[in-house]
Structure 1
Amino acid sequence: MFTAKKFESSVSSGIYNEDTDIDTFGNAAEVGHAMSEVHQQLLDYKEFGNLDDLYLDVVSPPLQSCNDAEIRMILGIGSQNPELIDDVQKGSYMLPMRSFELLRRHGIKRSRLEGQICYTVCQTQSIYTRGSMMSTEKIIELAAENFIQSMSRTKEVSVVTHPYPSSMTLGRSEDDLKAVQLVQNLLLSAEKVDEKQYERARKLLEECERMSSSTGTPIQRLVFYFAEALYEKIDRENGTVSTKGLRKQILDPLEDLEPDQRFRISFHENHPLSQISQFSAMQAVIDHVAEATKVHVIDLEIRCGLQSTILMQALAVRHERPVQHLTITAVGTKSKLTIEQTGRRLTTFAESLNLNFSFHIVMVADILELNENLFELNADETVAVYAAYTLTYMIAQADRLEHIMTVIKIIRPCVMIVVEIDSNCNSPTFLWRFVEALFFYGAFFDSLAECMKNDETNRRHAESTCFKSSIRNIVAAEGGERKVRHLSLSVWRAFFTRFGLVEIELSMSSLYQANLLRQSFPCQSSCTLGMNGKCLTIGWKGTPLSTISAWKFQRDIDE
């Protein structure tokens, strides 16, 4: 049973703007009155009841793919975005230069978020039952630094048995040193795979296999799944299939894209990312339909509809300009029955609020069949589009992504709210992709270990299905087979600009809700919020995980 958490009645610290470094919420009293209704909506949300009855997300089926060159052409953002282009011809420069650049890029991204941190990142990292005193990300950073130093001295690869000279071991526990050693061996093996020195890579992977475990510390689990993916990549490139040790057949990431319902419930209750993204994004929708009496929201991935209940409850209690009717249209390519079940639950919930409500479904076998005429739009409706963690899975089918954006442009919503993963896992260059994914999933594994420490069963299930499958696809697959292609915010910005979209400010209400929700979790000191331009970034100990942004068409701003 889902029960909403109790929230603090005031804001103890604020969200800092990158440009002005001004504490937006420095004086809580100034915003307290304006936010009281928002705060009450959060408190009232606990009445929504039984999340156990809600259904799983609807996952679209695999569609035809295009290669990386076609993706770059479709997105039309060329050399401005190194995530989507080859860096330098392979072998044209020395290894240390490439390694330094990889670490430098990650450091810049992390420091950019830390420069806008809303809340203090915890200085004392969590202590795991069998693990390291350092955070997963810190371990990866130290391993990467030593990897660079060791490879700048010699190009010979060998298993690392002691990662640091004595002067660097001061203050480090034996577990910390073993964890750094483990990650350094993983980085070395990835380097050898990149250079197609597979026998040397296997030697390193055997050591990784010996030191890692799917049931160990966060860093051991992380390395376990990345090593498994490297084994798979070697087998694929050699044209062999092995069942020994970690080398198992890769899963289709679209089949295991989401863990099952029990994990979703546990994740929503215990991890701040889920609630912060849903409440803040829905508040952004509410802000842009404030004057509308008839509201129509197009949801590109309705899932279980939890985000819709947040919107419905907020609109139902609006007194100054009551909503006459709310319409939600769900777009899907499969599992119509599941979407219909979600619609029935939302209809029942709307009735309990005395809210006039309609639920529509637009089902197409292929997203290329989607067109504006399929939506039952009325001239007196204010239309908003909500896209949460859905556009990223069209990157591998760039013609579909182009098409759906064209349809949205024709519909011309008053706002499009986008929630996406913030990670650069789409580079066609293997090593770039590997390092970015290692940092991203390292932070995610670290967050799961802390937030779900009282629910190990569901955490293990999620890591062994959803996350394992995604890691293997990012690392082992190439070309059209690589379905998991997370992009950074900068790439999405360049892409949306092509369609005349302009990023707009998130309201104080959205930021305030993010603050309240963060404070309601025991892990609040590890959850970091920051502003990347006009976008809200949700991170873990400084590493960005997800972004919330709002977009309007330039022509609507000009009018």
Structure 2
Amino acid sequence: MLYDASPIFKLGHVAANFAILDAARDHPKIHIVDFDLSQGVQYASLINAVSERSRHRSLTLLVNITAVCDPTMPYNTPSTVNNLKIIGDKIVTLASRFGVPVRFSVLNRRASELERASLGCEAGECLAVYLSFALSRIADESASPANPRDQLLRRVKSLGPDIVKLVEQEMNANTAPFATRFGEACGHYGSVLDSLDATMSRDDRGRFRIERALGRKASNSEKGHTFVLKASCSG
């Protein structure tokens, strides 16, 4: 609901998708490694843009999407793999309507075990890593001595991607002192709430549900919880 209602998230994904297309301008294939597929709505603008590019260049651009399901991540559950496959089928169906060939797969493996071979990377393709609202929900050195967030970033770097697509909240909800967390939470969630004025009236019941959920997330971030965007990103 938040993605549909707030232009902030759509604009973030659209800008990131065009960055991917720019990185892939000299490649016949795009391979996207996605660490948080969520509901897959972010791919609608990419599919539309690929369709337009293929039409103007008379060249079909192949898209390969690999959704990584790391069983150690807190937002992944035993049912996540099946859910990802269902969402992937919807993405493939949408792409077929635009004449864009999309291959979708799910890789149930720890991020620390990822390699180009296990991802099925091919020669000549543009490798893009999609980190959309994932880092803010992974523990850093302040929450875990293992620092899984930096481990993930090091593994991503080792893959040698052509581009890393990062869409993230501009707010520190993990390591900052309370006063700083409080101020940043007010600024971040205040901007998100204000953005709803562009698409929804103040008396819209859907808006009430979104504002209530955002209020809970804002409260959690002020308390210093590590995983503050779970409901917002999935909605």
Percentage of identical aligned residues: 23
Shift of 1:440: 2.7
**2:85 counterpart letter in structure 1:** E
State whether structure 2 residue 221 is matched by structure 1 residue 474: yes
| Structure 2 Cα separation of the partners of residues 356 and 443 of structure 1 | 37
| Residues 472 and 380 of structure 1: CA distance in aligned 2, closer, same or farther (over 3 Å) | same
Matches within 5 A, 1:480-495: 482-484=225-227
| Structure 2 Cα separation of the partners of residues 351 and 455 of structure 1 | 38
Shift of 1:272: 1.8
Matches within 5 A, 1:381-400: 381-396=125-140, 399-400=147-148
- Counterpart of 2:185? 437
**2:47 counterpart letter in structure 1:** M
- Counterpart of 1:410? 158
State whether structure 2 residue 153 is matched by structure 1 residue 401: no
| Structure 1 Cα separation of the partners of residues 58 and 28 of structure 2 | 7
Q: SS of the residue aligned with 2:193? A: helix
| Structure 2 Cα separation of the partners of residues 315 and 451 of structure 1 | 27
- Counterpart of 1:355? 100
Structure ID, larger Rg: 1
- Counterpart of 1:308? 43
Shift of 1:454: 5.4
Q: 1:340 aligns with which of 66, 85, 88?
A: 85
Q: SS of the residue aligned with 2:138? A: helix
| Structure 2 Cα separation of the partners of residues 374 and 360 of structure 1 | 12
CA contact (8 A) 2:69 2:108 kept: yes
- Counterpart of 1:299? 34
Q: Where does structure 2 lack aligned partners over 5 or more consecutive residues?
A: 71-75, 230-235
State whether structure 2 residue 60 is matched by structure 1 residue 323: yes
**1:471 counterpart letter in structure 2:** A
| Structure 1 Cα separation of the partners of residues 157 and 183 of structure 2 | 35
| Structure 1 Cα separation of the partners of residues 61 and 190 of structure 2 | 47
CA contact (8 A) 1:382 1:414 kept: yes
- Counterpart of 2:73? none
**2:206 counterpart letter in structure 1:** N
Shift of 1:401: 1.4
| Structure 2 Cα separation of the partners of residues 369 and 293 of structure 1 | 27
Matches within 5 A, 1:236-251: none
- Counterpart of 2:232? none
CA deviation string 1:46-66 (max 9, x = no partner): xxxxxxxxxxxxxxxxxxxxx
Shift of 1:470: 2.0
| Structure 2 Cα separation of the partners of residues 455 and 288 of structure 1 | 43
**1:343 counterpart letter in structure 2:** G
